[in-house]
Amino acid sequence: MAPKLINLSARLESRAVRNLVDQLEYPIDRRDERTDQILSDYQHDPSTQLFGLKKAGTLLGLIGLLPLAPHAAVIRHIVVHQKHRGCGIGRMMIASVCEEFALEHLEAETDDDAVGFYRRCGFTVQSLGEIHPGIERYWCRRVTATT
38-73 confidence digits (pLDDT tens): 999 999 999 999 999 999 999 999 999 999 999 999
pTM of the model: 0.90
The pLDDT > 90 percentage for the chain reads: 80
Given this model, what pLDDT does residue 126 score?
96
CA distance to 8, 73, 86, per residue, from 95 (Å): 17, 13, 16
Query: Span 4-143: which CATH code?
Result: 3.40.630.30
Task: Give the separation between CA 145 and CA 129, rounded to whole angstroms.
Answer: 28
Q: Are 32 and 15 in contact (CB under 8 A)?
A: no
The residue ranking higher by pLDDT, 1 or 111, is 111
Task: Show me where the domains of the chain are located.
Answer: 4-143
Phi first, then psi, for residue 4 (nearest 5°) are: -125, 135
